[in-house]
Copies of this chain bind each other. A is one copy, B any other.
Amino acid sequence: MSSDPLPVTGAWRPGDAPGGRRFFTFATDRRFALDSGATLRDVVVAYETWGSLDADAGNAVLLCHAWTGDSHASGPAGRGHAEPGWWSSMVGPGLPIDTDRYHVVCANVLGGCQGSTGPASPHPDDGRPYGSRFPVVTIRDMVRAQSRLADHLGIAGWMSVIGGSMGGMQALEWAVMHPRRVRSLVAIATCMQATAQQIAWGGIGRQAVRLDPKWDGGDYYDRAPGDGPAEGLAIARQIAQVTFRSDNVFTDRFGRDFSGRAEAGDILGMWQQYEVERYLRHHGDKIVRRFDANSYLAIGKAMDLHDVARGRGSLERAMARIQVPTMAVGIWSDMLYPAYQQRAIADEVGRNGVASEYHEIDSPHGHDAFLIDGDQIADRLDGFLAEASKLR
């Protein structure tokens, strides 16, 4: 764990080293309308690109990130990016999402904290962070912001929209909201509608952040460094981290090992730590350094609100809008987005005679296997994208 002082918020701020980020600002004259009825102006989308756009702009791939991801899908850690790209094993020259062949775009989501407008961003009215003034955003709002970016980049349609977990929710909404702008779809470890159990985990995490007296109702940005809602965010993150992994792997990796470190205390003390607790705490503390608690709330809420059927009559009618080849991928050990949910995506798309396929990652790592064992779908994804590249 780093010994740098803890920030009041882990949000990237304008003026910090940009890393590979570029920025696009829209809604400078007309306000951007959200699902909730609220509006935003001067909306920034931070994004990165890899590879060259063809003359006919036909080789553009949109990659959508998950909860605490950002635009840095590929490449090393460095100034501006504390971590290497979250899918460096899959995105790059000669990799399945081949940046020698495709122009890959990844944008930080609306509500995020890595350069795109979110709760830690300066409010245009007063330059102070939005904090509690930041409105609820939905997956559809994220897609709307991405569609503005696509316009700006001259990308009329995506050869493929690809995402895992929350990224897959965006991919599904892209195909439903903009059927003429998407030519294929890859939805990994995701769902058409957040389930009650997913909402349950999300809602408990939100309560933990709210319980932190340093959350200040969402307006904690004036606190001193190290004095932000680190504890609440760390607890929320730990809940998520358990659901991202699996019983098997926790047993294999940690068993009942006692941490044995000085801070772990006596083995029969109330606050002694087993290795698994130390591991979770490490993940909890780590998120605090690179993520904003309000963004964590905003994005988590967007996932719970995710429902492709909302306002569209029924799930069947919503999914019938998807008329492009679809690859759905599940993970047998995923306790958070169980494989039946991705099988259902392939079934719904295929119901209308549209080409759909389902693949399962055979990994014990749970939900995070889409990041850890993505190579299992490398060949098939490579083939799927090669076919998609012929669709113009």
User: A257-288 vs B: 1/0 string, CB under 8 Å?
Assistant: 00000000010111101111100100000000
B212 and A251 contact, CB distance less than 8 A: no
* 17 more A-B residue pairs beyond the given contacts A195-B247, A197-B246, A200-B280, with a C-beta to C-beta distance below 8 A: A35-B268, A193-B256, A195-B250, A195-B255, A196-B247, A196-B250, A197-B250, A199-B277, A200-B238, A206-B271, A207-B231, A207-B238, A208-B211, A211-B211, A211-B212, A211-B232, A335-B335
User: A186-222 vs B: 1/0 string, CB under 8 Å?
Assistant: 0000000111110111011011100111000000000
Bound Cα distance A238, B202 (Å): 11
Contacts of A271 in B (CB 8 A): 206
Nearest CB on B from A263, distance (A): 14
Contacts of A273 in B (CB 8 A): 203
B242 and A194 contact, CB distance less than 8 A: no
Bound Cα distance A266, B34 (Å): 14
Contacts of A242 in B (CB 8 A): 197, 200-201, 204
Nearest CB on B from A61, distance (A): 31
Nearest CB on B from A244, distance (A): 11
Contacts of A208 in B (CB 8 A): 208, 211, 235
Nearest CB on B from A6, distance (A): 16
A235 and B256 contact, CB distance less than 8 A: no
| A3 proximal to B (CB < 8 A) | no
Report the nearest B residue to A194, measured CB to CB.
B256
Bound Cα distance A170, B274 (Å): 22
Bound Cα distance A57, B199 (Å): 52
Give chain A's interface residues, CB within 8 Å of chain B: 35-37, 136, 138, 193-197, 199-201, 203-204, 206-208, 211-213, 231-232, 234-235, 238-239, 242, 246-247, 250-251, 253-256, 266, 268-271, 273-277, 280, 297-298, 301, 304-305, 307, 335, 338
Nearest CB on B from A104, distance (A): 32
Specify how many copies of this chain sit in the oligomer.
2
Q: Is the interface of A mostly helix, strand, loop or mixed?
A: helix
Bound Cα distance A213, B35 (Å): 36
Bound Cα distance A242, B301 (Å): 18
A235 and B211 contact, CB distance less than 8 A: yes
A-B contact pairs, 16 of them (CB 8 A): A36-B268, A136-B268, A195-B250, A195-B255, A196-B254, A196-B274, A197-B250, A197-B251, A199-B256, A204-B235, A204-B280, A213-B213, A247-B338, A256-B307, A270-B301, A274-B304
Bound Cα distance A301, B207 (Å): 22
If A204-B239, A208-B211, A235-B211 touch, whether A136 touches B197 (CB-CB below 8 Å) is no
B199 and A276 contact, CB distance less than 8 A: yes
Bound Cα distance A338, B231 (Å): 30
* Residue from B199, B250, B270 within 8 A of A200 (CB atoms): B250
Nearest CB on B from A275, distance (A): 8
B207 and A138 contact, CB distance less than 8 A: no
Q: Which 5 pairs show the lowest CB-CB distances between chains A and B? A: A196-B250, A196-B276, A36-B268, A196-B254, A203-B277
Nearest CB on B from A176, distance (A): 17
Report the nearest B residue to A301, measured CB to CB.
B270
Report the nearest B residue to A267, measured CB to CB.
B305
A204 and B301 contact, CB distance less than 8 A: no
Bound Cα distance A212, B232 (Å): 10
Contacts of A274 in B (CB 8 A): 196, 199, 203, 304
